[in-house]
């Protein structure tokens, strides 16, 4: 197990992570020729498999692949970086043990690098940094190194020094082994080692001393040798860097140019040397039998099976489910249990993913990333062998915050359209589909504008269905603010059996913080209403709405029926609803803004215009971080607004906080627009 690595490569857009992955696959013998991202041959890079990803230049789904390097098995997952795909990012990071953060030697630490780094920190992932594009004009790796220290708060140092920069970039000097490397051959596949050039000796010694100093600040064993002025061997230094990196106290910085095929092989060595194997990372499961208490997993094949389905794909042979195995062994033909649904499933086929080709295997053990076919589940489900009941993630999926009405343009493509929506719902728990009972439209809900745009675009591309999209809508709710009594008699006499039902009681608001949206209490003493009609009354109220207490009623021996009581309940609710002083609730978002301090006035002014309440404000270097609560209805198009007021330097993240009462003027506006819409119909 110590010969395995699970890593992710993530970076700011256009820092060259896809190009880097392409080279890694080439040198490890996984692919036999190199294709550029926007190359002339039109083939495109291996990891950008979706057309949409190639066009927009963003990763939408995490893609997994694996390769072998020097007898080690390396699983690589390409992670998306956008807020709208939170769930995809979180799950991808969830299954990784280490990561490579790619930085551009010209652009330096950019906004997206900061976001990605923040996510890695939240998941406590050890990482190495790779400064790419040293062949470009204006490349300055030392500037980027210092930016990472100041902006990302990285405790880092270079483990390599470049030989020449820009046009003259030839190779690298390894500061641990004190050797120089050049990359020769048509694609840089031949690495030749030679002595450090004499004209660089001073710089190299200075940088090696700096590396040893920085590492010894966080590693006691190395500090002892350093303070005693003992000569430090390559092996001592390597061991110290590994200890510090795995403990997340230090980040080794590599350099190179993926496009010019230089520096990729030493980076792969660094992944093996300094990033942790599955046994060195603590993974926690939540025990469902014990109110989600955290349990530390041993991570060995001897334990009971625990595996997490972190990604689904529709393959040619049905649903393909990617699993990260945390504990135990999974074999073809075994029975496994889905903890989230409680179903028992047989594993029909077990494969190892080779980008889009597969290789059948008989068994897989803890630490590996594999895929199974024909297992019906949702992404984020946990599988065990039935002896334990653990889930890997607490299943709190954020509530969707934005809705769009969609409908296929041509009537005959309805089948494909619903097929697409069903599949996306399974793949992504934050994407919901519903029907609007009033307008009969299909409503899709998700985490933001980009999220829903991408799905509409995917329906068009992958299922060839043109969909027309309505205006984004916010999910409002209603509630009551005070108690109101009701006493309603529903009586209808037509030929034959009539309808008779009387209900009395009161409605009142639930206390804040109560889990459900609706409670029904039956407080009737005696048999004023026969008990077999009570469920029908509850059903009627549930259709109409909130917390309801039934205190009395009356029935008729012949004319009372379930329908009569259900209707009585619905009309009783309508009768007392206005007396209960109803209010409208709107979703309020917690928005975190990050922007250079010089724009503070304009950004906060804009927030106040959007009725935002600022709850936190702090400085981080040259940036200001503002946390505020803003009604979602006022946040449409904010992505464009914040870019225009901060010259593209500001960024924001938004998550659902709660539903809150709207102000009186907004309520009037909503009621009037609803009446107007009803009137036109």
pLDDT in tens, 226-243: 888 888 888 888 999 999
> Annotation-wise, does 495 bind a ligand?
no
Q: Model confidence over 52-94: pLDDT tens digits? A: 555 555 555 666 778 888 888 888 877 665 555 666 666 777 7
pLDDT value of residue 536:
80
Determine phi and psi for 561, rounding to 5 degrees.
Answer: -145, 170
Q: What distance in Å separates the CA atoms of residue 131 and residue 352, rounded to the nearest whole number?
A: 31
Q: What is the β-pairing status of strands 335-338 and 382-384?
A: antiparallel
Q: What is the mean pLDDT of residues 215-220?
A: 88
What is the share, in percent, of the chain residues with pLDDT greater than 70?
87
Angle at 531 between CA 525 and CA 532, to 5 degrees: 170
Q: How many CB atoms lie within 10 A of CB 468?
A: 10
SS (H, E, C) 571-599: HHHHHHHHHHCEEEEEEEEEEEEEEEHHH
pLDDT value of residue 116:
77
The tally of CA atoms less than 13 A away on the side-chain side of residue 187 is 17
**Range in 181-195, 571-585, 597-611 the model is least confident about:** 571-585
pLDDT interval class at 629 (50, 70, 90): very high
Length of the chain: 681
pLDDT value of residue 251:
92
Question: Which two three-digit tokens encode residue 98?
Answer: 């280490």
> Annotation-wise, does 552 bind a ligand?
no
Q: How many CB atoms lie within 10 A of CB 132?
A: 31
> Annotation-wise, does 548 bind a ligand?
no
CB 104 within 8 A of CB 143: no
**Most confidently predicted of 165-179, 307-321, 425-439:** 165-179
Q: What distance in Å separates the CA atoms of residue 500 and residue 674, rounded to the nearest whole number?
A: 33
The pLDDT of residue 530 is above 90: no
CB 617 within 8 A of CB 603: no
Angle at 466 between CA 463 and CA 467, to 5 degrees: 110
Determine phi and psi for 49, rounding to 5 degrees.
Answer: -85, -25
The pLDDT of residue 315 is above 70: no
Q: What is the mean pLDDT of residues 310-324?
A: 76
| Torsion region of 291: left, alpha or beta (phi above 0 gives left; psi -120 to 50 gives alpha) | left
The pLDDT of residue 404 is above 60: yes
> Annotation-wise, does 18 bind a ligand?
yes
pLDDT value of residue 253:
92
> Annotation-wise, does 659 bind a ligand?
no
The pLDDT of residue 7 is above 80: yes
Determine phi and psi for 462, rounding to 5 degrees.
Answer: -80, -25
Q: What is the mean pLDDT of residues 406-422?
A: 83
Q: What is the β-pairing status of strands 251-255 and 127-132?
A: parallel
Q: What distance in Å separates the CA atoms of residue 608 and residue 614, rounded to the nearest whole number?
A: 8
pLDDT value of residue 90:
67
> Annotation-wise, does 133 bind a ligand?
yes
> Annotation-wise, does 12 bind a ligand?
yes
What global pTM score does this model have?
0.67
Q: Please classify residue 413 by burial: count the beta carbons closer than 10 Å to its beta carbon, then call 0-12 exposed, 13-18 middle and 19+ buried.
A: middle
> Annotation-wise, does 594 bind a ligand?
no
> Annotation-wise, does 79 bind a ligand?
yes
Q: What is the mean pLDDT of residues 487-515?
A: 77
The pLDDT of residue 540 is above 80: no
Going by C-alpha positions, the residue among 76, 131, 83 that lies closest to residue 450 is 83
What is the share, in percent, of the chain residues with pLDDT greater than 90?
3
pLDDT interval class at 625 (50, 70, 90): confident
3-state helix, strand, coil in the chain (%, to 5): 30, 35, 35
The pLDDT of residue 538 is above 90: no
> Annotation-wise, does 442 bind a ligand?
no
The pLDDT of residue 39 is above 60: no
Cα separation values, 288 from 114, 283, 373, 391, 396, Å: 35, 16, 26, 7, 14
> Annotation-wise, does 15 bind a ligand?
yes
> Annotation-wise, does 570 bind a ligand?
no
Cα separation values, 224 from 205, 221, 231, 390, 474, Å: 20, 5, 11, 43, 61
Q: Model confidence over 369-396: pLDDT tens digits? A: 888 887 877 777 888 888 888 877 654 5
Going by C-alpha positions, the residue among 487, 485, 673, 681 that lies closest to residue 584 is 673
Mean model confidence pLDDT for the chain = 80
Q: What distance in Å separates the CA atoms of residue 342 and residue 261, rounded to the nearest whole number?
A: 50
What are the residues facing 487 on neighbouring strands?
Answer: 504
Q: Which residue did the predictor score with more confidence, 298 or 99?
A: 99
Determine phi and psi for 649, rounding to 5 degrees.
Answer: -95, -15
Radius of gyration of the chain (CA): 30
pLDDT value of residue 394:
53
Going by C-alpha positions, the residue among 673, 676, 4, 678 that lies closest to residue 325 is 4
Virtual CA dihedral for 430, 435, 439, 443, nearest 10 degrees? 20
**Most confidently predicted of 26-30, 535-539, 598-602:** 598-602
The pLDDT of residue 593 is above 60: yes
Q: What is the mean pLDDT of residues 550-566?
A: 77
CB 127 within 8 A of CB 37: no
**Range in 77-81, 241-245, 455-459, 486-490 the model is least confident about:** 77-81
> Annotation-wise, does 81 bind a ligand?
yes
Q: Which run of H or of E encompasses 617?
A: strand 613-620
> Annotation-wise, does 17 bind a ligand?
yes
Going by C-alpha positions, the residue among 264, 119, 246, 240 that lies closest to residue 191 is 264
Question: Which two three-digit tokens encode residue 99?
Answer: 């990561």
Q: What is the β-pairing status of strands 499-507 and 484-492?
A: antiparallel
The pLDDT of residue 648 is above 80: no
């Amino acid at each position: 197990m110590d010969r395995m690595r699970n890593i992710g490569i993530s970076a700011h857009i256009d820092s060259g992570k896809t190009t880097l992955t392409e080279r890694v696959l080439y040198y490890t013998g996984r692919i036999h020729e190199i294709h550029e991202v926007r190359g002339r041959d039109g083939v495109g890079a291996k990891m950008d498999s979706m057309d949409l990803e190639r066009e927009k230049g963003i990763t939408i789904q995490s893609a997994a692949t694996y390769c072998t390097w020097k007898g080690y098995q390396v699983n690589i997952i390409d992670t998306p970086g956008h807020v709208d795909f939170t769930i995809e990012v979180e799950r991808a990071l969830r299954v990784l043990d280490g990561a490579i953060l790619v930085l551009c030697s010209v652009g330096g630490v950019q906004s997206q690098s900061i976001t990605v780094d923040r996510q890695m920190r939240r998941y406590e992932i050890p990482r190495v940094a790779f400064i790419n594009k040293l062949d470009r004009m204006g490349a300055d790796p030392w500037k980027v190194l210092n930016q990472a220290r100041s902006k990302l708060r990285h405790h880092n140092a270079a483990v390599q020094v470049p030989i020449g920069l820009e046009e003259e970039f030839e190779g690298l000097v390894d500061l641990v082994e004190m050797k120089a490397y050049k990359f020769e051959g048509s694609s840089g596949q031949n690495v030749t080692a030679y002595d450090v050039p004499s004209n660089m000796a001073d710089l190299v010694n200075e940088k090696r001393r700096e590396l040893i100093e920085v590492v010894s600040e966080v590693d006691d064993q190395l500090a002892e040798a350093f303070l005693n002025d003992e000569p430090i061997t390559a092996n001592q230094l390597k061991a110290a860097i590994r200890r510090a990196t795995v403990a997340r106290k230090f980040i080794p910085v590599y350099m190179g140019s993926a496009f010019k095929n230089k520096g990729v092989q030493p980076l792969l060595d660094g992944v093996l040397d300094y990033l942790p194997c599955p046994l060195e990372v603590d993974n926690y499961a939540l025990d469902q039998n014990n109110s989600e208490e955290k349990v530390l997993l041993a991570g060995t094949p001897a334990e009971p099976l625990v595996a997490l389905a972190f990604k689904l794909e529709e393959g040619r042979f049905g649903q393909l489910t990617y699993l990260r195995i945390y504990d135990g062994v999974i074999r073809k033909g075994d029975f496994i249990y889905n903890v989230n649904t409680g179903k028992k499933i047989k594993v029909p086929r077990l494969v190892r993913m080779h980008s889009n080709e597969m290789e059948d295997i008989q068994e897989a053990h803890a630490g590996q990333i594999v895929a199974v076919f024909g297992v019906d589940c949702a992404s984020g489900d946990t599988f065990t062998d039935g002896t334990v009941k653990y889930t890997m993630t607490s299943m709190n999926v954020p509530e969707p915050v934005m809705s769009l009405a969609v409908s296929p343009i041509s009537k005959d493509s309805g089948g494909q359209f619903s097929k697409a929506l069903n599949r996306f719902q399974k793949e992504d728990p934050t994407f919901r589909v519903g029907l609007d009972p009033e307008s009969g439209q299909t409503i899709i809900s998700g985490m933001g504008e980009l999220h829903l745009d991408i799905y509409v675009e995917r329906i068009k591309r992958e299922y060839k269905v043109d969909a027309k999209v309505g205006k984004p809508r916010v999910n409002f709710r209603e509630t009551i603010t005070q108690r109101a009594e009701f006493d309603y008699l529903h009586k209808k006499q037509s030929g034959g059996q009539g309808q008779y039902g009387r209900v009395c009681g009161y409605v009142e608001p639930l206390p804040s913080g109560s889990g459900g949206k609706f409670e029904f209490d039956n407080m009737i003493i005696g048999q004023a209403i026969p008990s077999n009609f009570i469920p029908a009354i509850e059903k009627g109220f549930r259709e109409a709405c909130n917390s309801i207490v039934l205190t009395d009623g009356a029935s008729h021996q012949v004319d009372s029926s379930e329908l009569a009581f259900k209707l009585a309940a619905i009309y009783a609710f309508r009768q007392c609803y206005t007396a209960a002083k109803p209010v409208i609730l709107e979703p309020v978002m917690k928005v975190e803004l990050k922007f250079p301090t010089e724009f503070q006035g304009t950004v906060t002014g804009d927030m106040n215009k959007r009725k935002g309440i600022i709850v936190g404000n702090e400085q981080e270097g040259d940036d200001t971080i503002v946390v505020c609560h803003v009604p979602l209805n006022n946040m449409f198009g904010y992505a464009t607004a914040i870019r225009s007021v901060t010259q593209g330097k500001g960024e924001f993240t938004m998550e659902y906080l709660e539903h809150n009462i709207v102000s009186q003027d907004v309520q009037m506006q909503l009621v009037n627009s609803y009446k107007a819409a009803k009137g036109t119909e």
